[in-house]
Chains A and B, each alone.
Chain A
Amino acid sequence: MNEYFVKIVNVETGEEIERPMTDEEISQREKDDIEGLAKKNNYKKQIAARQAILDRLGLTEDEAKILLG
């Protein structure tokens, strides 16, 4: 399935429609992708920063959890 499909399910009738995204939906999808990637990169940065602190302190993840309760 290409990346520009949406599935719409009418839960009252059970009817399922799969159709290509409209231009407006593609535009929204692209915004979502940018936002999602930004969140993911931010998360990765947080993980890396946390690991850098642990490395500097010479602590393992488990030791940090014990320390921070």
Chain B
Amino acid sequence: MANPTTNYSFAMPTNTDLVKDLPADFEVFGQAVDTTIKALNPETTLGDISYRSSTANTNTRLALGTAGQVLTVNSGATAPEWATPSSGGMTLISTTTMSGGSITLSSIPSTYVHLQLVITNYLPATDGTNLVMRFNSDSNARYKDGTSTTNNSQAFNATSIDLFAYQDSAASNGLMITDIYDYTNTTTWKFCSTQVIWNNNTTPANSDMYRIFGMYNQTGAISSITLLPSTGNFSSGSVKLYGVK
């Protein structure tokens, strides 16, 4: 064996050392080994891990992260770190009970990629009443909706987008999901897709359903959504607004 050792340069007694010097030599050797092992294994606590530092033969201790954190690389791309994963999926922004003549969801955060509206049990006061939607309190003829997959050369001649259609005023088992895409961009018209099932207003035990697309020919970001029955008031219902990342 090389003396000092090849990898960690531990100095060992040599065969020419005086016997009386051996204890002292082994103390030096032992302490050097101990110091090096500790530098290579700096963990102190359950769950600690270590990684190679910029100093040779000296690792860095990384304490255990918190529940739900994942191991990732730091912003400088120089070391690992524990971090809370950026939340994907959906975040419930608000829940609102339907009442009055209209509901406006205002101050919608611009921090999501898409929005999703989920409306349950929409019940209008007037039988056979649509539920319609507007953006940014805009009631001008800047909207269009359609149920077919291809609608060419459509004029924006509606003042709102239809969601529910002709909902019964007594029974309310309806469910609607509307996705509003890329609502913060400032360069495109806005677009939403709705799937909805509701009580037929002639035979409420029967269902009506459709898939409808809504368009809005303004390029500004959407910061508020207004929902209203096409005539009269809401009797009841619930609106949940989700942000989608």
Contact = CB atoms under 8 A, between A and B. Distances in A.
Interface stretch (B14-22, B94-102, B146-154, B185-193): B94-102
Main secondary structure of the interface of B (DSSP, over half): loop
Contacts of A21: 101
A20 to B, nearest CB: 10
B228 interface: yes
A29 B161 CA distance: 15
Nearest to B109: A12
Main secondary structure of the interface of A (DSSP, over half): mixed
B104 A33 contact: no
Contact of B96 (A9, A12, A28, A35): A9
Contacts of A10: 106-107
A36 to B, nearest CB: 3
Interface string A1-42: 101111111111110101001000100110111011101100
Interface residues of A, number: 28
Given A3-B233, A14-B94, A40-B230, A9 B105 contact: yes
A32 B100 contact: no
A4 B102 CA distance: 9
Most chain A CB within 10 A, of B107, B108, B231, is at B231
Contact of A3 (B96, B101, B130, B241): B101
A9 B227 CA distance: 12
A8 B228 CA distance: 12
A33 B129 CA distance: 10
Interface string A27-68: 011011101110110010000000000000000000000000
Most chain B CB within 10 A, of A9, A13, A25, A33, is at A9
Given A16-B96, A39-B130, A33 B103 contact: no
B100 A11 contact: no
Interface string B211-245: 00000000000000000111111000000010000
10 contacts: A5-B99, A6-B101, A9-B94, A11-B94, A11-B106, A11-B241, A12-B108, A32-B160, A35-B159, A37-B231
